[in-house]
Homo-oligomer: A and B are copies of this chain.
């Protein structure tokens, strides 16, 4: 007897050729596990359409046969959002062959790209035209536009440019019944009711498959500079940011990390050097950029704006990159942090959380104290996008820990941190999404929000075939 999955696989092969179907176990295997190795799934095939039309036909046929689909881009989800269910009930729908940049228009400063375009490829194509797509993050060499949209990705330049939601000027998607929603028109104004474009952003593939997008581009940067500061507290860091933002709109990045995290990087990454000679409780990275080469160079801008703060003692020490290589080296410290912490301190529960920006310094202090009170001996600290009110809050075993601490006390810690975030009016997922990892916690903490989302999900995907087990 032929199963519905086999029928779908056969149909895709017959209509779109061998390249559209992967069934070799060895070829499927890498796509069954998330990139941090926390979730493992099973799937009989990867379907790989090479056009919107092929994607539409596959989704329509899957709906007819009742076969579930898990969309995949670069498989870089931090929350198991692209890993298929363990029971093999779903096929993977990979967008990787839909990797054309359809258009880059200098006049309107827009790119139209397919979902499978890797972020770095878009960076490079935009740069070739003297333009820039500003969103960037560690996984830029693998993450795809479709995945970045479906997770409303953030990254390090949100401070100035916002998340993916603000950079999408329209999108194309295959809805669960196979219908193609075409939002690529490039209209500046369109008031024909609910925004399906906006609904697909951050939907984690549960309402359909994003196949292409029109994205906003910006003038290329002519130069940048990165300052590294030593400060006393997150509150001092935030005051510095507010000072800078009042004086200029050229601050793009503002990241904070504790001294111990810097030390972990220095001990773990070969060739890494401390930007400052002294020790300071908190370290801050500030990036400034300019587009127009006639404008004040960013290193001079930073020096001018930081000087009075150093004078007043609000910054303990500071250095400004004197070359692009040095700017890169500063960013490498920041980007190596997660890995270095894991290697140095062992496993930790990791919480991608946000609260209102002005509330974050106090939250960091209070949450660390609360966690230590509840579980004496653990060590809690946060780092990351202070200017966005978004930090990655990590709690490690400290003196409580055995090798299985993450399994035994990890869930208790997560619930506690999520409770604290919720009490502070924050979000238990600032930029990584919900996926499999946070689904139960979202249901526990925001049941009414989940109820509304489930209603929408059921309306557009009544069979529940789109990325089952994620988000809702």
Nearest chain B CB to A455 CB, angstrom units: 4
Q: Within 8 Å CB of A47, what residues of B?
A: none
Q: Please tell me if the beta carbons of A452 and B175 are within 8 angstroms of each other in the complex.
A: yes
A433 and chain B: residue at smallest CB distance: B191
Q: Please tell me if the beta carbons of B193 and A430 are within 8 angstroms of each other in the complex.
A: no
Interface string of A146-176 (1 = CB under 8 A from B): 0000011010001000010110000000010
Q: Please tell me if the beta carbons of A190 and B427 are within 8 angstroms of each other in the complex.
A: yes
Say whether A60 faces chain B, with CB atoms less than 8 Å apart. Answer: no
Say whether A281 faces chain B, with CB atoms less than 8 Å apart. Answer: no
Task: Give the number of times this chain occurs in the complex, counting copies.
Answer: 2
Q: Within 8 Å CB of A189, what residues of B?
A: 154, 158, 163, 354, 385, 388-390, 427, 430-431
The interface on chain A, measured as residues whose beta carbon lies within 8 A of the other chain's beta carbons, has a size of 66
The complex places the Cα of A179 from the Cα of B454 at a distance, in Å, of 15
Q: Please tell me if the beta carbons of B188 and A357 are within 8 angstroms of each other in the complex.
A: yes
Say whether A203 faces chain B, with CB atoms less than 8 Å apart. Answer: yes
Q: Please tell me if the beta carbons of A427 and B175 are within 8 angstroms of each other in the complex.
A: no
Q: Please tell me if the beta carbons of B107 and A427 are within 8 angstroms of each other in the complex.
A: no
Say whether A456 faces chain B, with CB atoms less than 8 Å apart. Answer: yes
User: Contacting A389 at CB < 8 Å: which of B158, B166, B188?
Assistant: B188
Say whether A449 faces chain B, with CB atoms less than 8 Å apart. Answer: yes
Say whether A209 faces chain B, with CB atoms less than 8 Å apart. Answer: no
Main secondary structure of the interface of A (DSSP, over half): loop
User: Contacting A460 at CB < 8 Å: which of B385, B448, B452?
Assistant: B452
Say whether A416 faces chain B, with CB atoms less than 8 Å apart. Answer: no
Chain A residues 440 to 465 lying within 8 A of chain B, measured CB to CB, are 442, 446, 448-453, 455-456, 458-460
Interface string of A198-236 (1 = CB under 8 A from B): 110111100100000000000000000000000000000
Can you list 26 A-B contacts (CB < 8 A)? A107-B358, A108-B357, A151-B191, A165-B195, A179-B451, A179-B452, A181-B452, A185-B425, A187-B430, A188-B388, A188-B389, A189-B430, A191-B427, A191-B430, A192-B442, A192-B446, A192-B449, A193-B204, A193-B442, A193-B471, A194-B199, A195-B198, A195-B201, A196-B452, A198-B201, A456-B459
Closest 3 CB pairs of A and B: A459-B459, A198-B198, A455-B459
